[in-house]
Every structure is written in structure tokens, then in C-alpha cells.
Structure 1
Amino acid sequence: MTDGLTIGRAAAFAGVTIKTVRHYHRHGLLQEPRRDRSGYRRYGSTELLRLVQVRTLAAAGVPLAGIGPLLEADAEQFAAALVDVEQRLTDRIEELIARRDTLHRLAEGDRALLPDRALALLDRMPGLGFTPDEVAASREGLVLARALAPEGVDEYLTALERAFDDAPFIALIRRCGEAMTWEPDDPRIEELVTAMAEAFLASPERLKNVTSFQARTETAIRYRLISRFGNQSPAGARMSDLIEAKLCSAGVPIPHP
């Protein structure tokens, strides 16, 4: 009777595939046993023990490059190495949990792209009289702002939270939304622009709706990408230009490309 197991039976014994055993051989983790008279390699108890050890460490998350030194280490070194492996596994688990949470948030739409504070503000907008299109434009604008100037988002959200409790200011913003459909030379635009500029200048908190991103956007181009989003109609672009011009003339710094 021939002693030892063939590679197929050894792999089955260890709970791995033949391909995995050969992979361990290529990495030098497992010495290939000698061939018997029939030309088959036979895995004895020593090889089987080593195979099980390698498979167990690999399944526990130890990189293949670290298994060899680990098996050659003394008890103290082995224990210390396992602590390091455990920490890396913990980090990996936390990363996977974060990815899972992101998938859950993606399933709920904007929750992967915006903080809860922003979502709460968007939820309030219909009750303040904003149309679905205006809510959608605000949502997309917040996503863009967060991507281009994340450091300014918290201050901007604080300004929005206060603005949403400011009924006269909200009425002006809604009026600006209605004006998006006007002709750009509509004489009512001048009156509305003046009212908006005066509202901003009358309150430092309101003004932060304009200035929150300025110090953090690095370039005027980035600022204008944020400030012009949602104001892309001819009337909206003209209103933005005129409001900024009035604020500039009052000493408010506005980046320009």
C-alpha cells in the first residue's frame, strides 16, 4: 500500500482546491513532496499539517506573503503577528460596513451624496412653496457644491437653515424662481435684483448664502460653477450678474474669472 495522499485527496482533506494547493507551492508556502514509483506526489502527515496551517491562516486574512514568516516565528512573534492581522481584519470589516451603508444610502437616492442636514432642508422646501423642479435643482446644486467645495458646505447649510426661517427672504427667493421664465430684459428684474441685494446687505447671515464658498473654492471658476448652477436661463444669469455687481459695489468680494 502506498503511503500518503494524492494532491486531489490532500486538497479535499484540507478543504481547498488542487489549484489552491499548487498556488501555495508556487509561493513557497508548501514544499512539493517526492513522487512515488508511479510518478504521483504523495502528501504525508507533515505536508498535510503544513497545508492545513497555510489554508487556515489564509482564510483568516493573513496575506500569502506573510504566512511563511508567521509559520517560522516563535510563540511570542506569532502572537504579536496575529494581533496585527486582527487589527487589519477589523479595519477591513469597518471598511466593508461603510461600503454596505453607502449601498443602503444609494438605494434611498440622495443619501449617499448629501448629509442629513441637506436632506432635511430639501424635505422642507415643498412646504415653503417651492416647486418640484426647484427642489430638484437645489438638490443637484448641493451635490455639486459639496463636490467642488466640501469645506464650505456646513456654513452654507447653516445659512440656508436660517434663511428657511426667514419668511420675507423666502418670498424673495421664490420670486426669483418665478423670474427665471421672464425675458432677460424684463424691467421687473431690476426691481427684484435691488430687493435681493438689499436683503443680503441688510443681514450678515443672509449674505452667507452668497459668501459661504468664496474663501474655499480656490478659483473664481469653481465659485461660478456653484453660483450659476440653477440660474442657467437668460433671466437667471442676468439676475445673478446684477446681484453680484450690486454686492461688489457695496464692498462684498465676489470672485470673477
Structure 2
Amino acid sequence: MDAMITIGRLAKYAGVSIKTIRVYHDKGLLPEPDRDSSGYRRYTAQHAIDLIKIRTLAEAGVPLARIRELRAASDEGFREALHQVDTDLTARIRGLRETQRRLRGLAAGRLQMLPPEVAGHLERLPELGFSPRWVALETDLWILVFATHPDTAVELFHDQAQALTDPALRQMYLDYDRAHDLDPHDPRIDDLARRVVRATLERYGSADLPGQNTNSEIPALIQGAVNASSPAWRRLDALIRDQLSRT
């Protein structure tokens, strides 16, 4: 490296643009040298070293204002700050890897985003007589539950999976699936609502379903997604809620 270099060569050495160097000058991050007799600013090896440090911190996500503070910090303060930057960067990398895992799962198919046990259960639903519409809805809803409530999702899943081992409860779910295309005022909707309420009280001993006693808005969002696809399901849900509220 020459003893004195132009801004263009400095930019090349540090791997940044000339515009970036000028921004760093304006922000007070990199001292701006005086012009020589020819009117050009000439930079030294120290400028290049400082610029590379600034670029590294900026690429790690450190705000420019914070970099300016670090440039004025003591050696000990600078080391402590770098340790914190490293810790934060590690957490960001971990988060990005998790995001990448979810993206790859999404690209491979929705079932890849769920635990194998849940994916296997959903793949078996058609064998039990459930419609493709019901399986797709269940898949999307379990993706939502596992993404937002990972601590309770497994318990909720096991509760539903166990319910389907009971022939009477399984038939109730199947009837719920098939009610999708019924007229909202079909008498079968009223009958199904009564069966759901009775089964809920017998299974749980109260009107409270698993996962309902939380401060989360997710249960309401899930029920809203279910209701949105069918007027019959909307009326069914209204009847169930009304009857449970009076128990």
C-alpha cells in the first residue's frame, strides 16, 4: 500500500463505496484528511484500518451513532461493547437460522412445518373419512397454534387426537366437517350443536375447552378462520357458544 492513497483506492481496499466514506466523514466516524497541493485528499494506512473497523461494526448491525461512541471509548469499554455486539449477532444468527428452517419447511410443504407426530396424524385423517377441505384447514390451524403457542400446542394436539379414537366423538367431528355445505338453518345444525355441547361437558366437566383460558387472541382467530368459510359453521359456533354460556 502506498504511504498516501486516494479516496478511490481507500474505498477499494476497505470494500466500501466512495459515497459511504463521505457519509462516514459527515457522521464524524472517519477523520477527513486535508487536501494536498493538487487539491486531492490523501489517506493513510490508518484511515484504511479505521474504515475497515467501521465497516465491520456497521455490517454487524451496529448503528452509526453507536459506532461513533465506540470510536471514542476506552480500550476496555471498546472490548466490552464488542462482546455485546458479538452476543447480539449470535442471537440474530440463531433467529435467522430458525427462520430459514421454517422457510425450507414451507417450500417442502405445509406438513414439514409441523412435528412428525402431528403431520402423521393429519395424513391419516382422509382414511377416517375427513374431507380434503377439513385436512387443509386443520393443517393451517395447527401450523398457527404451534407457531404461536409451542408450550401448549402438544397438549392441545394430544387432546384432539385422543378424541378421534372415540367412535362417537370421531363421528361428531365428521358431522362437523360435513355440515360445511348445509343450509345454516338446517335442523341438523341444531342437533349437532346440542351434541357438541353435551360432549364438551361430559369430556371436560365444564364449558371451558382446552386452550381457551389464556390471554391470547389466537383461539378467537382460529374460530374466526373456521367460521369464515361456511355460514353453516358460523351458526353452529353461535349455537354452541350460546348453549355453553347458559350451562
* TM-score of Structure 1 vs Structure 2, range by shorter chain: 0.7 to 0.9
Whichever residue aligns with residue 168 of structure 1, its letter is: A
Alignment of 1:61-210 (within 5 A): 62-110=62-110, 118-142=118-142, 156-183=156-183, 195-204=195-204
Name the counterpart of 2:210. 212
C-alpha spacing 1:231/1:151, structure 2 compared with 1 (3 Å): farther
SS of 1:202's partner is: helix
Alignment deviations for residues 126-160 of structure 1 (CA, whole Å, 9 cap, x no partner)? 12121212212333555677799999755542320
Structure 1 letter corresponding to 2:136: A
For 1:99, the aligned partner's letter is T
- 2:40, 2:211 → 1: CA distance? 72
Please state whether the residue corresponding to 1:165 is helix, strand or coil.
coil
Q: Note if 1:42 corresponds to 2:47.
A: no
CA distance in structure 1 between the aligned counterparts of 2:100 and 2:40, rounded to whole angstroms: 47
Q: What amino acid is the match of 1:159?
A: D
Whichever of the two has the greater Rg, that structure is: 1
* Equivalent in the alignment of 1:255: none
What's the counterpart of residue 254 of structure 1? none
Quote the offset at 1:163 in angstroms: 0.7
Q: Return 5+ residue gaps in structure 2 as ranges.
A: none
Alpha-carbon displacement from aligned partner over 1:60-101 (angstroms, at most 9, x marks no partner): 554433334434444323322221121121122112212212
Measured in 2, the distance between the counterparts of 1:62 and 1:90 equals: 13
Are 1:6 and 1:41, in contact at CA under 8 Å, matched by a contact in 2? Answer: yes
Change (3 A) 1:102 1:76: same
CA distance, structure 2, for counterparts of residue 227 and residue 38 of structure 1: 71
TM-score, normalisation: structure 1: 0.71
Q: Is the 8 Å Cα contact of residues 114 and 143 (structure 2) preserved in structure 1?
A: yes
Per the TM alignment, residue 9 of structure 1 is displaced from its structure 2 partner at its CA by 2.0
Q: 2:19 aligns to what?
A: 19
- Select the structure with the greater relative contact order (CA < 8 A; seq sep ≥ 6): 1
Count of residue pairs brought into register by the alignment = 245
SS of 1:10 mapped into structure 2: helix
Instruction: Determine helix, strand or coil for the equivalent of 2:213.
Output: helix
- TM-score of the aligned structures, taking structure 2 as reference length: 0.73
Query: How high is the sequence identity, in percent, across the aligned residues?
Result: 35
Tell whether the 8 Å contact from 1:193 to 1:239 is kept in structure 2 after alignment. Answer: yes
SS for the counterpart of 2:35 is coil
- 2:168 & 2:118 partners in 1: Cα distance? 21
After TM superposition, give the deviation of residue 124 of structure 1 in Å.
2.7
Runs (5+) with no aligned partner, structure 1: 252-257
Tell me, in whole angstroms, the C-alpha distance in 2 between the residues paired with 1:119 and 1:129.
Answer: 17
Question: Root-mean-square deviation (CA), in Å?
Answer: 4.1
Q: Match for residue 33 of structure 1?
A: 33
